[in-house]
């Protein structure tokens, strides 16, 4: 594929069209080639192992009754409740299998969003069973804070994204035949060029913004609208937005209210709805005790029940927990248990929302 190049300056006897047409043709081919590296040509679907192929919320209500929300058509619950929820806290998502999903190179990310996270640490783990099956396991600590821990499986709401290998981007569009100086333009070539560029623009616009304040920004749920590294300022007792970027101004983090130890409210600049997925990662450095065993781990919970809209802004709460902080952890005499309490530490956020 020729390089993307300058439109040639006109010559007296080759005034404009053949050379200029050919360069335009090559440039559109170049753009399509670049676009096709990590996108499906016509649909614009992202096609990269580092981008979720399907992403959404797994909701659970009393019963328990599980439902999927915001996932694309790839994800489903199949076989009835006993099949997709065979045990407390265990949830099986069914996928269409190869070629869209190919284990073992599939990857899953999950964020426990249980309302239990308001008062206790919660976890969700994953297991890629095969091309068409990913299982999730959710737990919560039910012993209360600052007492000996007891973890149990819990049917929990959680956010999840599932990644897999590249698939075929489909057949590329054609852009007409190459014309050189002295040759005339052909109607069929010009029509192909116009059709081809329309295909490329259509694919790009399906998952990216081509107008607005950030042209080129991603506009699909599978890619985060906002990411942020958030740091704890222990001197001033507040959280700072230390690094962030966003693809939607409304999804930019506007403020972080500190409601007490390990309890925050994050407000976005605008309304991106309440059907969002938030993935939080502790940047807390685990501490190792004198005996060589871990004494402290961070856990971040983002309860879906605490996602709301307030005065035209999407807001959500973040709860941070730390294990074993200065409690019963002296090496001699041996500790008898490990305890969790609220804590403050650095963490990251990744916020996904509906296309705007």
Q: What is residue 81's DSSP assignment?
A: H
- Cα 174 from Cα 33, distance rounded (Å): 11
Residue 192 CB, shortest distance to another protein, in Å, is 9
Q: For another protein, give the closer residue by CB, 14 or 271.
A: 14
Taking CB under 8 A as the criterion, the residue among 45, 74, 131, 247 binding another protein is 247
Taking CB under 8 A as the criterion, the residue among 184, 235, 236, 311 binding another protein is 184
Find the part of the chain contacting another protein (CB under 8 A) among 61-69, 77-85, 207-215, 260-268.
207-215
Question: Quick one: tokens of 79?
Answer: 């076989």
Q: For another protein, give the closer residue by CB, 123 or 318.
A: 123
Residue 198 CB, shortest distance to another protein, in Å, is 4
Q: If binding is defined by CB under 8 A, does position 178 make contact with another protein?
A: no
x-or-dash string of contact with another protein, 256-275, rule CB under 8 A: --------------------
Q: If binding is defined by CB under 8 A, does position 293 make contact with another protein?
A: yes
**Segment 86 to 145, residues that bind another protein, using CB under 8 A:** 90, 104-110, 123, 125-128, 135, 137, 139
Residue 333 CB, shortest distance to another protein, in Å, is 7
Taking CB under 8 A as the criterion, the residue among 118, 214, 238, 356 binding another protein is 214
Tokens 């309860």 -> residue: 303
Taking CB under 8 A as the criterion, the residue among 93, 156, 193, 302 binding another protein is 193
Contacts of 91 (CB under 8 A, 6+ apart): 58, 60, 66, 84, 85, 135, 136, 138, 155
Phi first, then psi: give them for residue 228, nearest 5 degrees: -155, 140
Residue 274 CB, shortest distance to another protein, in Å, is 20
Identify which of 263, 265, 279, 262 has the alpha carbon closest to the alpha carbon of residue 227: 279
Taking CB under 8 A as the criterion, the residue among 198, 273, 274, 308 binding another protein is 198
Identify which of 245, 324, 243 has the alpha carbon closest to the alpha carbon of residue 290: 324
- Cα 53 from Cα 216, distance rounded (Å): 20
How many angstroms separate the Cα of 88 from the Cα of each of 81, 152, 230, 246, 297?
A: 11, 9, 33, 37, 25
Query: What is the CB neighbour count within 10 angstroms for residue 13?
Result: 7
Q: Where are the beta strands (DSSP E) in 237-354?
A: 238-246, 253-260, 263-268, 277-282, 287-288, 294-296, 298-301, 308-310, 313-323, 340-342, 347-352
Find the part of the chain contacting another protein (CB under 8 A) among 25-33, 72-80, 93-101, 309-317.
25-33
Q: For another protein, give the closer residue by CB, 61 or 144.
A: 144
Residue 344 CB, shortest distance to another protein, in Å, is 13
x-or-dash string of contact with another protein, 322-341, rule CB under 8 A: -xx--------xxxxxx---
- Cα 46 from Cα 39, distance rounded (Å): 4
Taking CB under 8 A as the criterion, the residue among 119, 242, 263, 265 binding another protein is 242
């Amino acid at each position: 594929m020729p390089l993307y190049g300058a439109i040639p300056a006109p010559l007296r006897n080759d005034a404009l069209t053949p050379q200029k047409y050919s360069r335009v043709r090559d440039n559109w081919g170049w753009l399509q080639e670049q676009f096709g590296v990590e996108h499906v040509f016509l649909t614009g679907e992202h096609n990269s192992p580092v981008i979720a192929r399907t992403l959404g919320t797994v909701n659970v209500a009393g019963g328990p009754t599980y439902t999927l929300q915001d996932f694309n058509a790839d994800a489903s619950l199949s076989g009835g409740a006993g099949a997709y929820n065979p045990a407390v806290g265990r949830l099986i998502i069914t996928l269409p299998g190869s070629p869209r999903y190919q284990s073992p190179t599939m990857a899953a990310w999950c964020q426990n969003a249980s309302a239990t996270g308001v008062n206790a640490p919660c976890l969700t783990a994953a297991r890629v069973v095969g091309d068409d099956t990913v299982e999730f396991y959710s737990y919560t600590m039910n012993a209360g804070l600052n007492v000996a821990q007891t973890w149990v499986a819990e049917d929990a709401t959680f956010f999840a994204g599932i990644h897999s290998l590249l698939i075929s981007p489909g057949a590329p569009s054609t852009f007409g035949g190459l014309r050189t100086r002295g040759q005339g333009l052909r109607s069929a070539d010009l029509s192909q060029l116009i059709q081809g560029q329309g295909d490329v623009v259509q694919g790009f616009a399906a998952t990216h913004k081509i107008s607005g304040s950030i042209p080129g920004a991603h506009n699909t749920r599978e890619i985060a609208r906002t990411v942020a590294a958030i740091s704890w300022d222990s001197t001033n007792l507040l959280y700072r937005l230390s690094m962030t970027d966003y693809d939607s101004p409304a999804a930019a983090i506007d403020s972080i209210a500190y409601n007490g130890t390990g309890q925050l409210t994050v407000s976005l600049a605008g309304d991106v709805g309440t059907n969002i997925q938030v993935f939080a990662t502790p940047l807390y450095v685990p501490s190792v005790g004198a005996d060589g065993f871990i004494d402290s781990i961070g856990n971040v919970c983002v309860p879906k029940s605490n996602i709301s809209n307030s005065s035209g802004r999407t807001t959500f709460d973040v709860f941070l927990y730390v294990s074993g902080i200065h409690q019963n952890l002296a090496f001699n005499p041996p500790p008898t248990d490990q305890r969790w309490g609220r804590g403050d530490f650095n963490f990251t956020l990744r916020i996904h929302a509906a296309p705007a």
